[in-house]
Chain A
Amino acid sequence: MPVKVRRRDFLKMVGAGGVAATLLGIAPPIIRYIVPPVLRGEMPRSQLVWEDCSPVKASELEPNTHYLFYYPLVDTINVVLKLVTPSGKPIRIPEMRVPTQMDPAYEPPAWLDAELSEEEIKRLENFSKGSFYTYPPGVGPDGNIVAYNLICQHLGCPYPALRYYPPGTPIATNPPEIGANGGVLHCLCHGSAYDPSRGAIVLTPPTVRPQPAVKLEWDPNTDYLYAVDMVGPTINGKVCNTCGKTVGDKVVVAVNREPEKKTC
């Protein structure tokens, strides 16, 4: 049955549809303008340098000191730590298998002097809720230099809320369990604690994920240090470890404070 449409009604409908389309057409340019070009960059390989641009040497690092640097993005802060026992002896950090997500009730493996036994791996697997990743061994002449991201995996509190407490340092809130070398990475925001000498595995909830580690390289001939990769969970607050503005081939290191935003 043919439907008779009056010319006036047809004109109104076409007009209304056209005006609606016009208004909708304005939206895409505005949205495209507001959304920044999404950056998923390459993982940089960056040499660690001091603020005067001279290279950082592994042997001149002091134990129990925060050496802070931004990597792999210009706003993701990390710390280089030289780990020692309470008596000051260096601890060689071996390669480790670390679960990406674990039950807070989990009891960490006893110590890391040897490869994990079969039973220990079984126990870890029972407690872990996800996969494992390989935590790189410590670098430097004594194999005791490690680097961790300092944005808490729990709710994203960065340094100075999350920081390293050397053996014997008192902690104001929620005294956590102590790491294997007597020191601990502890976050003031909600009391999460990680063990810096065991791949930053979880010591105290509410966090359930370990801190991401920066994979370091040490050149034994020149004694220079390089940050080459991130391992572990994605840096908290970031969609991916290279989503954003990545650092250049040299990153500035500052002692016990956030480094200046400068390029060398």
Chain B
Amino acid sequence: MARERINTYARRVWDWIYERSGLEHIPFYRVPYNYFTLDIWLGAIVAASFFWLAFSGLLLIFYYRPEQPLESTKSILFEKPFGALLLTSHLYAAHFMLIAIFAHAFRNLFKGVYKRPRELVWILGVATGFLALQTAFFGYSLVGDRIAKEAINIGTALNIRSLGEEIGLYVVSVLFGLDPAETYFRVFALHVLAAAIVFLLFLLHFGLFEMHGPAPKEEETGWKAKPEKIPQDRPDLAPWFPVNFVFITAVTLLTWGAIIFIAGLAQRFADLLPPLFKPYPVEAEDFTPMPPWFFLYTYRIFQMTFLTLNLEDTPQLLQFIVALVLPPLVLIAIPFIDRKLSTHPIDRPFVSGLGIVMLVGFTQLTIWSLIEPGIPVGFIQFLTVASPPIVTAIAGLYLLRRVRQGRPVGTGELLSATGLLVGGILLPPLIGMAIGVPNLQEEFIMGLLGFGMASVILGWMAAKMKVEPEGVLERQPDPDASIPWYLPLIALGEVGIAVFSAVALIAIAIVDPVALAVQATVLTGLLLLAGGALSHAIFRALAADWLPRGDVLGEIKVHLLPYIALALTLIFII
């Protein structure tokens, strides 16, 4: 009797909330139950990382002092309770967000979802992404350590050499100020301002995305940009609340958990990390200063001597344009270059080739800068690195296109493609050796890396040539049977992990959160990972009506995260 009364009471409270908050009528786009996959929700990972950055960043303002950047940073890290948690996770969330941005952008490029009616979503996304890069630059300059000082110095020098004395003076005075006592106040203000603009652009990006929803899966359209939208009268649409909401909560908590857990491990293994990825300020004197990894690619471009202009005032203008102006413009132009109906990467060889060259080139330039910092890049060196991915993309897309169009691939085609490939990889270093360019080993290895990466991407395209057609989902006759027996047990274990880490966190908060900073960070990550996995379990339960039982790995892969994290915690931390 009593239990029944409580039940009715709870239901009345819930009904009141549900009705008054209008949860039923949330105007977000609804998607079918089988759309809740990682690659469709990469943007949610970016957004979740951004929210963690905003939250932890706002808390860091309490103790950051621009007049003493390094001292206050170290004080947050080593003296404030849970300060190490906030600051290291802020740093790693930035790394994580930028990687997620790259994944999100290139997934959408290769799947061609920027087509009508999503061109504006794409353009706003590109703008948001590049502003996020700029925000990250200001952010890591805030620390006031050696990397930050070099960043400000080199940024100043490059601006002046690229833009000339007059314009350069204005740009530098806006970015860093001319009075050094004021520099960190300015960088701080710009960091927050840029992050605020990133947020506004994100709201626009997200709002426009919600107008059209995610692009229909290629399994449903057969790689076509038609229909443009998921029809909102399909029977298998999941209500935004609670299904989509619970899924987004799972993505958010798992992202936060992963970021904080990795930040905890980074604190534990700080000595093993290279300076660019250390969670602490770098004060060592014998280390070659480098830009952060996401700007490392510009480093090699600024060293390309064959792009240096013979101008008194602006010798590096061309490098500046190639490194920083051209990439966003090229990306923004993509929806206008490619207006075909087909979204298959092989049917859009120009854009796919561009995507391969940009993604592979970014990776090559980054690694190349790491292994050969500061050494000038001649034209032969550049060709040795750049030619393999370009010829791989051309030869691969040419052959795949013939196959996809059903035209025969004979010995002639194979021979010319192989010739192009071998010539593109071997000719530049051979010419270099013939004309006496020394030390091309690193460049040759970078070229092979480019060949390998481009081949992997082409392999993915080839594998996706034919996809299993999918239609509207069917309702499961026995929803309980679509949930495997082990899932409830796994969830119970995760409740255990969550309770354990929560109790341990309370204990640390009472005892000594400064001395136990590593443990505090790792346990917070563990707690959030367990919460995220449990949230995903709720999603699985809600989706049981429509999603059939999958294979073991498919059902438990999300739940591996908290258990792996628990194992790592037990091995390394406790």
Contacts and interface: CB of A to CB of B under 8 A. Distances in A.
B170 A35 contact: yes
A232 to B, nearest CB: 16
Contact of B285 (A39, A156, A161, A191): A161
B174 interface: yes
B285 A188 contact: yes
A254 interface: no
Contact of B373 (A73, A190, A240): A190
A189 B157 contact: no
Contact of B150 (A39, A157, A205, A261): A157
Contacts of B375: 190, 206
Contacts of A38: 169-170, 173, 178
A158 B149 contact: yes
Given A157-B150, A158-B153, A74 B181 contact: yes
Interface string B146-171: 00011001101110100001001110
A239 interface: yes
A149 interface: no
B376 A206 contact: yes
Contacts of A160: 285
Interface string B369-395: 000011110000000000000000000
Contacts of A206: 374-376
A121 interface: no
A204 B180 CA distance: 31
A205 B376 CA distance: 10
Contacts of B374: 155, 189-191, 206
Which range holds the interface residue count of chain A?
20 to 34
A151 interface: yes
Interface in A79-103: none
A36 B173 contact: yes
A236 interface: yes
B117 interface: no
A36 B173 CA distance: 6
B276 to A, nearest CB: 14
A156 B154 contact: yes
B174 A35 contact: yes
Contacts of B180: 73-75, 244-245
Interface in A171-226: 172-173, 188-191, 205-206
B232 interface: no
Interface string A240-255: 1001110000000000
A18 interface: no
Nearest to A130: B312
B312 to A, nearest CB: 9
Interface in B167-189: 168-170, 172-174, 177-182
Contacts of A245: 178-181
Given A237-B153, A244-B178, A189 B289 contact: yes
Contact of B178 (A34, A36, A157, A189): A36
B441 interface: no
B286 A36 contact: no
Contacts of A190: 288, 373-375
A157 B170 contact: no
B289 A35 contact: no
Contacts of A238: 156
A129 to B, nearest CB: 10
Given A34-B174, A36-B178, A243 B169 contact: yes
A1 B177 CA distance: 57
B71 to A, nearest CB: 13
B462 to A, nearest CB: 42
A181 B266 CA distance: 46
A40 B156 CA distance: 17
A240 B158 CA distance: 15
Nearest to A205: B376
A2 B285 CA distance: 77
Nearest to B183: A75
Contacts of A173: 288
Nearest to B179: A245
A36 B150 CA distance: 22
B177 A36 contact: yes
Contacts of B285: 160-161, 188
Interface in B431-451: none
Interface of B: 149-150, 153-154, 156-158, 160, 165, 168-170, 172-174, 177-182, 285-289, 373-376
- Going nearest first, the 10 A-B pairs with the smallest beta carbon separation are A190-B374, A75-B180, A156-B153, A237-B156, A156-B157, A239-B169, A244-B178, A245-B179, A237-B157, A160-B285
27 contacts: A34-B174, A35-B170, A35-B173, A36-B182, A38-B178, A74-B179, A74-B180, A74-B181, A155-B154, A155-B157, A155-B374, A156-B154, A157-B150, A157-B154, A158-B153, A161-B285, A173-B288, A189-B288, A189-B289, A190-B373, A205-B376, A206-B375, A237-B154, A237-B160, A239-B168, A244-B179, A244-B180
Given A38-B178, A237-B153, A245-B180, 12 more contacts: A155-B157, A156-B156, A157-B150, A160-B285, A172-B286, A191-B374, A236-B157, A237-B156, A238-B156, A239-B165, A243-B169, A244-B180
Interface of A: 34-36, 38-39, 73-75, 151, 155-158, 160-161, 172-173, 188-191, 205-206, 236-240, 243-245, 261
